[in-house]
Amino acid sequence: MKKALALLLALVMVLGLGAVAYADGVTLNVVTSYGGDDGNRGNFEAAVKAYEASTGNKVNDGSATSNEEWKAKVLTDFETGSEPDVLFFFTNADAEPFISAGKVVSIEEIRAEYPDYATNMRDSMLAVASDGRQYAVPSYGYWENMFVNRTVLSDCGIEVPGPDYTWDQFLADCETIKDNGYTPIACSLVEVPHYWFEFLVMNNGTVANHLDVPVSVEDAAGAKWVAALEDFKALYEAGYFPANTLTASDAETVEMFNQGEAAFLIDGSWKVGYFTENAADLGDFAISYVPARGERKASEAIGGISMGYFITRKAWDDPAKREAAVEFVSQLTSDEVLSTFVTTEVTALINGAKPAGLNPLQQSAADANANITAIAGAVQDTITGEAKADLFGNIQNVVTGKLSARDAVAAAIALN
Amino acid sequence: MNSMIYKNKKPLLVFLIPAFAFLIVFLYYPFFQNVVNTFLKIGGLGRASQGLNTPWYENYQRLFTDPNMRTALKNTLLLTLCTIVFQVGIALILALLVDTIRVGAQFFRTVYFFPIVISATALGLMFNLIFLYKGGMVNQLLLSLGRLPSEVKPSGKVLVQWLDWKDQAHFLFTMFMPVMWQYVGFYFVILVTGLNNISPDLFEAAALDGADGWKRTRYITLPLLRNVLCTCLVLAITGALKVFDLPWVMFGAGMPENRGWLTGTYMYDQTFNRMNVDYGSTIAVLIVVLGVVLSNIANRVFRPSDDL
């Protein structure tokens, strides 16, 4: 009996090995930011499934939610030789370490062998690295703006703000909202203060000089950043952030907004998908405008195309994976697939995306976007990861008075 | 023939050398390189160093002046103390209790050991939900008991003042409690095994002499368990110095307001999030030194007795 069992097990192992040896296709290691609660997670999974079905290849999906820790992990993987075959990542300064190390392949080099690669994209909208080459095939752009909870505003007798929303009106509204027992601003200062940082910086400058990075705390850009951090402190001291903003996760504060406990949330276009999937009634929410101060208008926002698909040198140099990687990126950035990801965002597609019918929140975003008069990229994308981690990590120290805004900016500049 | 096997030691080397080589390559060489790294300027994992720091002992200077490092050390030493008192203490009490029952001992062994087999990440997420600010299990319980103040606002909305279990007043309890809870079962199993090795004859003799339960525990069980307890304490102390995963999942980077650092979480943050590899290496050296020093102290204080 034992002999028969041993023989059977041995047979199964041999057959298993044979099956592996003769299996069709290859396994691609793919890392993207379409993980966690990303609104396009479902679309990404569907696109991957379609790719696997059409090619016989397998995708080992290592996607995760995009945050500073995820970015650091991706960069560490490159540095330790554990990079994926295909990476969907930021195309700004964050990608410079692996681009300058020659760990990814340029579009030019890929087109030498695959002339049709990314030809559905406008070349002028592809991100250019510091060496003058283009590496990433963009998916779609993003916008950052203010989400509002209509029910909370209505309970407090406040209208949904329009494109002429001023900072003073906003402060008055926050006070009313607070007096009515709601939290004015849903934001985790300890985890995701960067959306507010962008707009507070722009409120202390202009959309034209938004991307100026300070060289010294004394220069104009430095002064803007210091003023932005002081605005954070003023809002915190006024009690407009959640009571647990220094210990809450981003997921907690977003859910607070979703549950009708908070009125305002600054977030990105990706959050529309989150509310589409998780909100009880999409009609409770609208996309509005971040209140403006100084020379900035509320109709000026943050936006652009910041992410794209990279093929790594490791995959390109592997004859078994080269074609699989090229085909993967081509399929995931085709007009048809990108149209499933896009609702109100810009794309680099020559023919443009053709999203299906919009839900109430997507329509609200489209209406708000129609009133946007100017956009600038996120200035945090132009500084090093170390500087960013230090700056955002110190916001909690600034609002609690443990560190001055000036010292916090100076420390970040020293690391940039 | 058998005696020849013991006289000829060469075959033993065949088995010892691979393990020795493995340790040299994967433990001692990396540790030596880690010490070297503490003197270099390294801006990311895998990146080449940019030469020596100026001064070369800059990172060691920083260790003594960095307020976050002081916080991390203080918290870690407190965690170590709590580990000794609560983890090993509770495990000892549970082991003594389970040892006295005749029915269901195996059931309790399994139940108490179970948290060990669950990943720390899963436990961290679970305790995050238990201590969640709004609607967490503990806060809901307090609300239903009427222990959370609330007020009705002009809009008719009831504003509950939830208890923030991660704020400065509560974070140590919220961070340490799951760590204690997770490893009690580990020491419990070791101690129960130690108790099983004590001959029942001794207890029977003591009972005949009129010793009650407490006296049997005080004069027979605890002295005979001393060597096992000593092992548990050394394991608990060195384990506490390396705690990382559960606090990281629950508190991330030093929450709240840089008061929640442990040596393990601070080392990780410096190395992987801030790309400050050389300083992270210096913290790692400190953790090793602390581990060696504290476990030596524990060994001396609770030295296993040869008389037992």
Per-residue pLDDT of A338-387, as tens digits, reads 888 887 777 788 877 777 778 889 888 888 888 888 888 899 988 988 89
Residues B83 and B217 in one domain: yes
Q: Which of A167, A110, A176 is nearest to A325 (CA)?
A: A110
- Nearest alpha carbon to residue A327 among A123, A178, A170, A113: A113
User: Could you tell me if residue A167 is inside a domain?
Assistant: yes
Structure ipTM: 0.81
Q: Higher model confidence: residue A201 or residue A415? A: A201
Claim to verify: residue A216 and residue A165 sit in the same structural domain: yes
How far apart, in whole angstroms, are the C-alpha atoms of residue B147 and residue B141? 9
Angle at A267 between CA A261 and CA A272, to 5 degrees: 85
Report how far residue B283's alpha carbon sits from residue B35's, in angstroms, rounded to the nearest whole number: 10
pLDDT attached to residue B2: 52
Residue A7 lies in a domain: no
Contact B171, B254 (CB under 8 A): no
> CB A182 to CB B258 under 8 A?
no
Q: Phi first, then psi: give them for residue A58, nearest 5 degrees.
A: -115, 145
- If asked whether residues A63 and A183 sit together in one domain, one would say no
Asked if B255 and A244 come within 8 Å (Cβ–Cβ), the reply is no
Comparing alpha-carbon positions, the chain A residue that sits nearest to B268 is: A69
Q: Is the same domain home to B284 and B200?
A: yes
- Residue A366 token pair: 């489209």
| Rounded Cα distance, A206 and A220, in Å | 11
pLDDT at residue A22 in the model:
42
Say whether both B251 and B154 belong to one domain: no
CA distance A297 to chain B (A): 32
The pairing of strands A374-376 and A300-304 is: parallel
Tell me, yes or no, whether A348 lies in a domain.
no
In a shared domain, residues A200 and A319: no
Given A341, A367, A388, the domain boundary residue is A341
In this structure, the answer to whether residues A237 and A381 fall within a common structural domain is yes
Q: What is the DSSP letter of A103?
A: -
Are residues B231 and B106 part of one domain?
A: yes
pLDDT digits (tens, 9 = 90+) for A180-229: 999 999 999 999 999 999 999 999 999 999 999 999 999 999 999 999 99
Copy the structure tokens of residue B54.
């100026």
Q: Are B291 and B241 in contact (CB under 8 A)?
A: yes
Q: Which residues pair with A138 in a beta bridge?
A: A308
Q: Count of CB atoms within 10 A of residue A355's CB?
A: 17
Contact yes or no for B50/B43 (Cβ under 8 A): yes
Q: Indicate whether B287 belongs to any domain.
A: yes
| Domain hosting residue B146, numbered range | 132-165
Q: Average the pLDDT over A92-104 and give the result.
A: 91
Question: Is B30 contained in some domain?
Answer: no
Which residue among A313, A341, A369 closes a domain?
A341
Mean pLDDT across the stretch A239-263? 95
| Number of domains, chain B | 2
Residue with tokens 């997507």: A362
Q: Does the residue B209 lie in any domain?
A: yes
Report how far residue A111's alpha carbon sits from residue A132's, in angstroms, rounded to the nearest whole number. Answer: 16
Q: Phi and psi of A302, rounded to 5°? A: -100, 140
How far is the C-alpha of A241 from the C-alpha of A183, rounded, in Å? Answer: 7
User: Considering the domain boundaries, does residue B24 fall inside one?
Assistant: no
Is B226 contained in some domain? yes
Q: Do B112 and B248 lie in a common domain?
A: yes
Mutate to test the interface with B, among A103, A241, A244 (most CBs of B within 10 A): A244
Domain contains A354: no
Task: Please report whether residue A20 resides in a domain.
Answer: no
Side chain identity at A228, as an amino acid letter? Answer: A
Q: What is the 3-state secondary structure (H, E, C) of B176-244?
A: HHHHHHHHHHHHHHHHHHHHHCCCHHHHHHHHHCCCCHHHHHHHHHHHHCHHHHHHHHHHHHHHHHCCC
| B-proximal residues of A, 60-89, CB under 8 Å | 68-69, 72-73, 75-76, 78-81
Fill in the amino acid letter for B163. Answer: L
Whether A172 and A240 map to the same domain: the answer is: yes
Look at residue B48 and tell me if it is in a domain: yes
pLDDT of residue A35: 87
> How distant, in Å, are the alpha carbons of A95, A136, B201, B275 from that of A100?
9, 14, 74, 17
Task: Tell me the residue range of the domain where A329 lies.
Answer: 25-141+305-341
In the listed set B121, B145, B165, which residue is the last one of a domain according to the structure?
Answer: B165
Residues A169 and A66 in one domain: no
* Residues B100 and B113 reside in one and the same domain: yes
Tokens in use for B267? 């080392």
Shared domain check, A177 and A108: no
pLDDT tens column, A160-185: 999 999 999 999 999 999 999 999 99
- Say yes or no: B279 and B153 in one domain: no
Q: A217: exposed, middle or buried (C-beta count within 10 Å: 0-12, 13-18, 19+)?
A: buried
Q: Which residues is A376 bridged to in the sheet? A: A302
Copy the structure tokens of residue B115. Answer: 């948290």
Residue type, A416: N
- B195 and B275 housed in the same domain: yes
Quick one: how many helices (H) and strands (E) in chain A? Answer: 17, 11
CATH number for the domain including A281?
Answer: 3.40.190.10
Q: Look up residue B40 and give its DSSP letter.
A: B
Residues B110 and B211 in one domain: yes
Has residue B75 been placed in a domain?
yes
Number of domain units in chain A: 2
Q: Do A135 and A153 fall within a single domain?
A: no
d(CA A221, CA A409): 10
Kindly state whether residue A296 falls inside one of the protein's structural domains: yes
Distances (CA, A) of A315 to A95, A109, A324: 17, 14, 9
Residues of chain B with pLDDT below 50 are 1
Using the structure block, give the residue that is written with the tokens 């503990």. B138
Same domain membership, residue A385 and residue A250:
yes
* DSSP assignment string, A325-386: HHHHHHHHTSHHHHHHH-SS--B-BSS-----PPPHHHHHHHHHHHT--EEE--GGGGS-HH
In this structure, the dihedral spanned by the alpha carbons of residues B116, B118, B119 and B121, taken in order and rounded to 10 degrees, is -110
Q: Extract the tokens encoding A61.
A: 């999906």
Residue listed under structure tokens 């609560």: B86
Of B122, B146, B165, the one marking the end of a domain is: B165
Of chain A, the percentage scoring pLDDT greater than 70 comes to: 94
DSSP bridge pairs for A267: A145
How does DSSP classify residue B51?
Answer: S
Query: Would you say residue A408 lies in a domain?
Result: yes
Could you say which of B162, B256, B272 has the minimum Cβ distance to residue A246?
A: B256
> What CATH number corresponds to the domain at position B56?
1.10.3720.10
A97 and A41 belong to one structural domain: yes
Note the pLDDT of residue B278.
93
The model's pTM? 0.80
Whole-number Å distance between alpha carbons of A350 and B47:
39
Q: Closest Cα of chain B to A110: distance in Å?
A: 27
Looking at the structure, tell me whether residues B73 and B205 fall in a common domain: yes
At residue A372, the pLDDT reads: 84
Does the distance separating the beta carbons of B272 and A76 come in below 8 Å? Answer: yes
Same domain, A170 and A286: yes
Among B231, B211, B256, residue whose Cα is nearest residue B75: B256
Interface test with A, best of B129, B130, B173, B275 (most A CBs within 10 A): B275
- DSSP track, A148-179: EEHHHHHHTT-PPP-TT-BHHHHHHHHHHHHH
Domain annotation covers residue B14: no
The pair of three-digit structure tokens given for residue B136, joined into one six-digit string: 């967490």
| B155 and B288, same domain (yes or no) | no
A260: nearest CA in chain B? Answer: B157
- Reading the block at residue A415, the tokens are 């690391």
Query: Cα separation of A228 and A214, whole Å?
Result: 13
Note whether B155 contacts A397, CB cutoff 8 Å.
no
Residues of B in contact with A68 (CB under 8 A): 273
A90 shares a domain with A79: yes
Pick the residue from chain B with its C-alpha nearest to A244. B164
CA distances from B241 to B237, B238, B271 (A): 7, 5, 17
Q: Are residues B150 and B290 in the same domain?
A: no
